[in-house]
Structure 1
Amino acid sequence: MVTDPFKPAKRVAGQRQDVCSATSAPDFVLDAARDALSRVECNQYSPTKGRPRLKKALADAYNPFWSYPLDPDKNVTITTGANEGMLSAFMGFVEPGDEVIVFEPFFDQYISNIEMPGGKIVYVPLHPPKDGATKTTSAGDWKLDIKELEAAITDKTRMLVLNSPHNPIGKVFTKEELQAIGDLCVKHNIIILSDEVYDRLYYVPFTRISNLSPEIAKLTITVGSGGKNFYCTGWRVGWLIGPENLIKYVSAAHTRICFSSVSPLQEATAVAFEQADAHDFWNQSKKEMQGKVKRFNQIWDELGLPYSDPEGGYFVLANLANVKLPEDYEFPPHVASRPRDFKLSWFLIKELGIAAIPPTEFFTEKNAHLVEDWLRFAVCKNDDVLDEAKERLRGLKQYIH
């Protein structure tokens, strides 16, 4: 049974929900999984770096968008989801005392993954648009101060984590922004771990940082996700793509962490990539998800509440600074002690039956104030669920001042 995150009984404020809970994988992908499960060779251990068919399918799929020819055996390794892939990258390169730069807001799994091998996290914030509380803006208006980034670099900086399209903002970094980041990494010999799990869901021009120059490409490991691409996050099929001299170390770490990844679902993901173009899946997926974003955002326009219009992915940040919570409303202690977005999230769950993520969860305490009036909503739902959510959100009218 699919969980409906808009029903209050199913969610707790602050609990992560990054799965696409209502949008399902297409039939050609599910059929590939059923077929793989019926084949003896697909139910045995896969090679530690991944099934040859999937590595080839990925090389074939990404070669048209890559700056150098991808060799399936040298440039690609399959991991148990993108998260384990990133852990393998940190385990492969980060030693105790090494510093890793992470932009705020951040996907929460980055933090523990960096800390496990003894890394120290250095945070650099993305700044929200100054007028985000008064008018609708673009996710691209969340800006990185390149001088702040450069000031955060030390002789101990080993890696930088980049996420584009970005979760939770929905920002797609521009070519100019990526060039500035990449140039700094080349200057200081910093490995770039580019989290591109939403690389098929972008609504503005999308640039891969690895494509900007040979010098940047030599330092870049790109993270991908079959679960995100095909709406089957429970499959836990991810991958890392990069130059051989970097991939061999993350492959070694992956072997020690989990040896190999789920064989039949690797095979099914290979078939999914092989058949995606014939089904026009990428274009249809992008069109459908952008339609859901627009469909859901109608409620904010109706209520007169500003939001950050995403450039990619399936998350929307809405600004609820004009929503005035009742002064005598009782929050449980674990909510009352948190920033305002936690109170907003709790209030929406209890009073309207709407679940949203408080984005201060993606920030350090120092910079949490930047987003305490925002909430993150996932629009990867069936249209009837989105319409019901909009109807429930109309209950905010009495609290808007």
Structure 2
Amino acid sequence: MGTRPLLNRRLTGMGTTIFVEMSALAVATGSVNLGQGFPDTDGPASIAQAAADAVLAGKGNQYPPGPGVPELRSAIAEHQQRFYGLTYDPDTEVLVTAGATEALAAALLALLEPGDEVIAFEPFYDSYAACIAMAGATRVPLTLRAPGFRPDLDELRALITPRTRLLLLNTPHNPTGTVLTPEELAAIAELAVEHDLLVITDEVYEHLVFSGTHHPLAALPGMRERTVSISSAGKTFSFTGWKVGWVTSSPELVAAVRTAKQYLTFVSAGPFQYAVAEALRLPDSYFEDFRADLTRKRDLLSAGLTAAGFRVFEPQGTYFITTDITPLGEKDGLEFCRSLPERCGVVAIPNVVFYDNTEAGRSHVRFTFCKRDAVLEEAIERLARRQGR
């Protein structure tokens, strides 16, 4: 094997994800895990029952159709129409994937060539960097800066070069909780049309907006035919282990993404696809109650973190809160998060791992609030004890 490294050089520096490291720390120390973003309660029992019924009825136990079962593709198309007035043909403009993560990977691998540039808002979810690297492209970060974490649209324009192929947007944005405004989206759309850019939008937190409203970029003039919209069931219905995601776009873009996707997983989650089809058709009250419950949890954890001395940047969406540890006399978020389990029995995620421009996020730490009230209250109590408050 010689002296050549075993790992593809494009993935140098992308070892075990921070989520694995911090979740292992949580187990080893018996800490309250407010790091990885998964709920500690399941979604609606009726949807779980639908999955069980599908398994027992033999629906999806063998390979489902490559694009996804027709029932789910129809439900996704109905969802886009119901909430956003967007019309998609379930046969040619919808693709079911193994979660949003596979959708992102397939889209980036399908649409990028080596040497292409991808502009993405940082801090960005860690799979973005890995997938862009695997495609041989170059990521170009547009830094969202505290306290507002708004995109500088003049800077965005300046970052576009003849090599720019694609914009990668995430709204509502993980980890900052920023929700792009109609004005920001309109300006981004104008730039995409002007420079003939493709856009991938990660919209997995579309139903978790606490202030403002989620507006799909694909609905804006000139954007439908150049935008790959991605979402998933995991965050909206609290079944993150099912890994059911989807792509909606033009027939040409869906065909391109499907070409890459078929060589990644081919198909997945057969029985769960039938259950997610039912979930997408739940009444408005489900989505309203879900949002109201998470808003209350956000406010509970925000108040606790503020009382413990953190500077809290209140999120407009998602189920994460970004904080600044500088008021605690701390500067290094990674060091802080690695020591926090031993110091007070709480696990969080250092935002610096989501940045290329590491100084911008060095003192920022992310907590998730998609947990039971008792868990959040225990974490708050432990953090308060550490501060002597």
Q: TM-score, normalised by structure 2?
A: 0.89
Match of 1:324 in 2: 329
Out of 196, 199, 203, the residue aligned to residue 192 of structure 1 is 199
The separation in 2 between residues aligned to 1:107 and 1:392, in whole angstroms, is 28
Match of 1:101 in 2: 119
Out of 342, 347, 353, the residue aligned to residue 350 of structure 1 is 342
Out of 156, 170, 178, the residue aligned to residue 177 of structure 2 is 170
After superposition, give the CA deviation of every residue in 1:15-34 in whole Å (9 maximum; x if it has no partner). Answer: 99544141321101111111
Match of 2:17 in 1: none
Structure 1 residues 24-43: aligned runs within 5 Å: 24-43=42-61
**Worse-matched range after superposition: 385-394 or 199-208:** 199-208
Q: Is structure 2 residue 298 aligned with structure 1 residue 257?
A: no
After superposition, give the CA deviation of every residue in 1:261-310 in whole Å (9 maximum; x if it has no partner). Answer: 22101111112223x117x2111110111110011112133235321101
After superposition, give the CA deviation of every residue in 1:62-111 in whole Å (9 maximum; x if it has no partner). Answer: 11234542111121100011010111111211111111111110000011
* Contact kept? 1:7, 1:353, Cα under 8 Å: no
The 4+ residue runs of structure 1 with deviation greater than 4 A are: 4-7, 10-13
Q: Match for 2:302: what amino acid?
A: N
Q: Is structure 2 residue 372 aligned with structure 1 residue 382?
A: yes
**Residues 6, 118 of structure 1: alpha-carbon distance in 2 compared, 3 angstrom cutoff:** closer
Match of 1:147 in 2: 154
**Residues 40, 300 of structure 1: alpha-carbon distance in 2 compared, 3 angstrom cutoff:** closer
Question: SS in structure 2 opposite 1:46?
Answer: coil
Q: Is structure 2 residue 216 aligned with structure 1 residue 211?
A: no
**Residues 76, 164 of structure 1: alpha-carbon distance in 2 compared, 3 angstrom cutoff:** same
Q: TM-score, normalised by structure 1?
A: 0.87
Match of 1:394 in 2: 384
The separation in 2 between residues aligned to 1:71 and 1:248, in whole angstroms, is 13
**Residues 253, 243 of structure 1: alpha-carbon distance in 2 compared, 3 angstrom cutoff:** same
Consecutive unaligned residues in structure 2, runs of 5 or more:
1-21
Match of 2:283 in 1: 277
Match of 1:333 in 2: none
The separation in 2 between residues aligned to 1:389 and 1:161, in whole angstroms, is 34
* Root-mean-square deviation (Å): 2.2
The separation in 1 between residues aligned to 2:24 and 2:344, in whole angstroms, is 9
Question: SS in structure 2 opposite 1:192?
Answer: strand
After superposition, give the CA deviation of every residue in 1:165-223 in whole Å (9 maximum; x if it has no partner). Answer: 1100011011111111111111111111000000011012221111122x022211110
**Residues 22, 6 of structure 1: alpha-carbon distance in 2 compared, 3 angstrom cutoff:** farther
User: 1:324 Cα deviation (Å)?
Assistant: 2.5
User: 1:123 Cα deviation (Å)?
Assistant: 1.3
The separation in 2 between residues aligned to 1:349 and 1:178, in whole angstroms, is 39
Alignment: residue pair count: 366
Question: SS in structure 2 opposite 1:88?
Answer: helix
* Contact kept? 1:54, 1:269, Cα under 8 Å: yes
Q: Percent identity?
A: 33
The separation in 1 between residues aligned to 2:288 and 2:229, in whole angstroms, is 22
* Contact kept? 1:5, 1:11, Cα under 8 Å: no
The separation in 1 between residues aligned to 2:308 and 2:101, in whole angstroms, is 37
* Contact kept? 1:11, 1:355, Cα under 8 Å: no
Question: SS in structure 2 opposite 1:387?
Answer: helix
* Contact kept? 2:229, 2:247, Cα under 8 Å: yes
The separation in 2 between residues aligned to 1:5 and 1:382, in whole angstroms, is 17
Consecutive unaligned residues in structure 1, runs of 5 or more:
130-140, 326-338
Q: Is structure 2 residue 348 aligned with structure 1 residue 341?
A: no
User: 1:260 Cα deviation (Å)?
Assistant: 1.3
